[in-house]
Structure 1
Amino acid sequence: MPLYRDEAVVLRTHKLGEADRIITLLTRQHGRVRAVARGVRRTTSRFGSRLEPFTHVDLQLSEGRSLDSITQAETLTPFASGLGADYERYTAGTVMLETAERLVTEEKEPATQHFLLLVGGLRAMVSGDKGPGQVLDSYLLRSLSVAGYAPSFDHCARCGEQGPHRWFNPSMGGMLCSTCRLPGSASPAAATVELLGALLAGDWPVVARADQRTLREASGLVAAYLAWHLERGLRSLVYVER
């Protein structure tokens, strides 16, 4: 069977038989891949902890009819070791993994931007330099943008009129002017709209100046925008303190 190598982040695992696991991966060159790790649940397994969620690995795989098989695995970055002792960062990280799995729907298709974004987001989460909620919100907005759902915060998402605007509607793609406003649209504070734009752009000095009320309002709008475009909420998001 043909062999190939790739970098990957382990997104999820589940048991298969008595000793194997199916590993869901986000790879750099092959997008989302589901592969079998044979014997990984045995204490004598050569893979050890290299195929646990959050691990950034270098893999060799063999192609199969329905599932590929992992034949080699080397740890590049053990993100789990930096998240396990911090509940807030760990739960935020699980949302990132679930989001990546949901947004990268095509198997074996390149998803390099999603992969690099996830590795960068996990690295920022582990570093501790920025708040976990802000790293998560920035990752979610950027991931949606890469997937084709880029929100608009500086002009009307419907007519394109330059902002600032007052109304926010997830179904329309972001901020709306007074003319395009739809019933049920939220009316966030101006500081919240500025913060959302900064999270999307990675303008961390602006993010650092935001107060807790603004951060909470922005997080709620990010969650609403994510739920709309994924068509249902994330199971892991309920464990994150927002």
Structure 2
Amino acid sequence: MPSKVSEAFVLRSYPYREADLIVSFFTRDQGRLRGIARRARRPKSSFGSGLERLSQVNMQYFQRENVELCKMDGCELLQSQFALANNYTASIGMDFIAEVCDQILPAAEPNERFFRLVMATLEHMRQAPTERTEEATWTAIQYFSLWAVRLSGFLPDLRVSDESRNLAREMLTTPIHSLTPRTWTRTTSRDLRRFLITTIEQQVERRLITAQMLETL
């Protein structure tokens, strides 16, 4: 079977053996996959900087039937999130998005709408002026959390304040870049954010590490 090339977001990676990485990545056409990137930790790797968290890439890989890990051959970087990583709040926000994707998405099930959600969320963060990066991050976290639950099929009745319920209603009917202008901070509809995170944690049956980090910002 020939190698495949899929547009993808890198979710996480961790060392394997001396020079390799195990990588979790979310592809547009194949869903969430895991693979081995051989020699990815060496200086002249064919992956370059493409395996950084939430890098958008064209991933080249080879899948074999009944084998959990695919063989990753290389990637072409389409969009780096490097500039966002310089802002601590944005960096934690990206960690949160990556962790939710890695935990909530079933393996090998394509989800075009979820893929476009990640794209729109990151684009919103990147396009914000530098002085408004933190504000854009809190908008993105709230919007992404709500839609992640909605697209995963387990959005319950929202047991939150009327103000937060109205905001959720707007987010479910309005693209992120068209939301009513407001000042966003970590306290904006905090009850909604905590409710959605709790819902996600109950669904995946584990605590989200990055959710706890958000509370310390």
TM range (shorter): 0.7 to 0.9
RMSD between aligned alpha carbons? 2.3
Question: Cα deviation per residue 1:87-124 (whole Å; 9 max; x = unaligned)?
Answer: 111101111111111121222x2222221211221121
1:143 equivalent among 136, 143, 148: 148
Change (3 A) 1:42 1:149: same
Following superposition, the deviation at residue 42 of structure 1 comes to 0.7
Following superposition, the deviation at residue 224 of structure 1 comes to 2.8
Residues 1-242 of structure 1: matches in 2 within 5 Å? 1-64=1-64, 65-79=67-81, 81-107=82-108, 109-128=109-128, 131-150=136-155, 173-175=156-158, 188-202=160-174, 204-206=178-180, 208=182, 214-241=188-215
Q: How many residues in Structure 1 have an aligned counterpart in Structure 2?
A: 207
Question: Cα deviation per residue 1:4-26 (whole Å; 9 max; x = unaligned)?
Answer: 11100000001111011111100
Distance of 2:13 and 2:35 partners within structure 1? 10
* Unmatched tracts of structure 1, length 5 or more: 151-172, 176-185
Distance of 1:93 and 1:116 partners within structure 2? 15
Q: TM-score, normalised by structure 2?
A: 0.85
AA at the equivalent of 1:104:
L
Q: TM-score, normalised by structure 1?
A: 0.77
Kept in 2, the 8 Å contact 1:95–1:237? The answer is yes
Following superposition, the deviation at residue 54 of structure 1 comes to 1.3
- Structure 1 runs of 4+ aligned residues shifted over 4 Å read 209-214
Question: Cα deviation per residue 1:60-87 (whole Å; 9 max; x = unaligned)?
Answer: 21123332112231000002x1221111
Kept in 1, the 8 Å contact 2:138–2:185? The answer is no
Larger radius of gyration: 1
% of aligned pairs identical? 24
Change (3 A) 1:48 1:225: same
Change (3 A) 1:232 1:72: closer
Secondary structure of 2:172's partner? helix
AA at the equivalent of 2:157:
G
AA at the equivalent of 2:152:
A
Distance of 1:211 and 1:39 partners within structure 2? 41
Kept in 2, the 8 Å contact 1:9–1:25? The answer is yes
AA at the equivalent of 1:16:
Y
Kept in 1, the 8 Å contact 2:28–2:111? The answer is yes
Kept in 2, the 8 Å contact 1:191–1:214? The answer is no
Distance of 1:193 and 1:210 partners within structure 2? 16
Kept in 2, the 8 Å contact 1:199–1:207? The answer is no
Following superposition, the deviation at residue 125 of structure 1 comes to 2.0
Distance of 1:196 and 1:216 partners within structure 2? 12
Kept in 2, the 8 Å contact 1:9–1:55? The answer is yes
Distance of 1:174 and 1:207 partners within structure 2? 26
* Unmatched tracts of structure 2, length 5 or more: 130-134
Following superposition, the deviation at residue 206 of structure 1 comes to 3.6
Change (3 A) 1:212 1:206: farther
Structure with the greater relative contact order (CA < 8 A, sep ≥ 6): 1 or 2?
Answer: 2
